[in-house]
Amino acid sequence: MLKIPAFGNTQNELYNAILNETPSENIIFMGNSCGGGIALGFAQKLRNENKPQPSQIILNSPWLDITLSNMDIIELDKKDKLLGIKGLKMAGALYAAGINPIDYKVSPIFGDFSGLGKISIFIGTHDLLFADAQKLKKKLEQQQIAVNYFEYPKMFHLWMALTNMKESQHAIRQLAKLINTKDE
């Protein structure tokens, strides 16, 4: 039985406790929205500390850059009915809490992707965060890092959580396949 460290302990302590119970190849980091950014940033931090990587990092509508500096976001702001640039910029400033906003810990798109677990991205084309998901995919491909990229036309931020939609059901099946498939 996994014993989770007491409240207030660091992510590293929790990860070490998990590693004591299961090998890293059985660990998957998966995050939605800002949780996707946290998952990717934490994997980069672990790699920098020479700690075992999770086997996979699955990002659902990930928030990868709190600066929102990608100019393609401006057009997406008109399509996204859930997120807005102004609100996200305020949230990003609060989230950074004094950390440089282009530090990989808060904006993992500015980090190094070598040596990480297998990365998968689920994103809709009407999601404000779509532009940065595309940017991450391109960076990974340029660095010859394999990525599973699932792009859903006209889908909005975190559409996969609305399980009554056919697109959501399709994404859930794809997620289940990723989770249940071991890399060779």
Exposed/middle/buried for residue 94 (C-beta within 10 Å: 0-12, 13-18, 19+): exposed
**What's 131's domain CATH number?**
3.40.50.1820
Whether 148 and 121 have beta carbons less than 8 Å apart is answered as yes
Output the pLDDT for position 4. Answer: 40
- Flag whether 90 is in a domain: yes
Stated pTM of the model? 0.91
**Interatomic CA distance for residues 103 and 114, integer angstroms:** 16
Output the pLDDT for position 80. Answer: 87
- Flag whether 18 is in a domain: no
pLDDT in tens, the chain (184 residues): 444 433 335 788 888 889 999 999 999 999 999 999 999 999 999 999 999 999 999 999 999 999 999 999 999 998 888 899 999 999 999 988 888 999 999 999 999 999 999 999 999 999 999 999 999 999 999 999 999 999 999 999 999 999 999 999 999 999 999 999 865 4
Exposed/middle/buried for residue 177 (C-beta within 10 Å: 0-12, 13-18, 19+): exposed
Output the pLDDT for position 183. Answer: 53
Strand order from edge to edge, sheet including 118-124: 28-32, 56-60, 118-124, 147-152
Whether 123 and 106 have beta carbons less than 8 Å apart is answered as no
- Flag whether 113 is in a domain: yes
Output the pLDDT for position 51. Answer: 93
- Flag whether 48 is in a domain: yes
Domain count, the chain: 1
Domain, as residue range, for 61: 26-179
- Flag whether 16 is in a domain: no
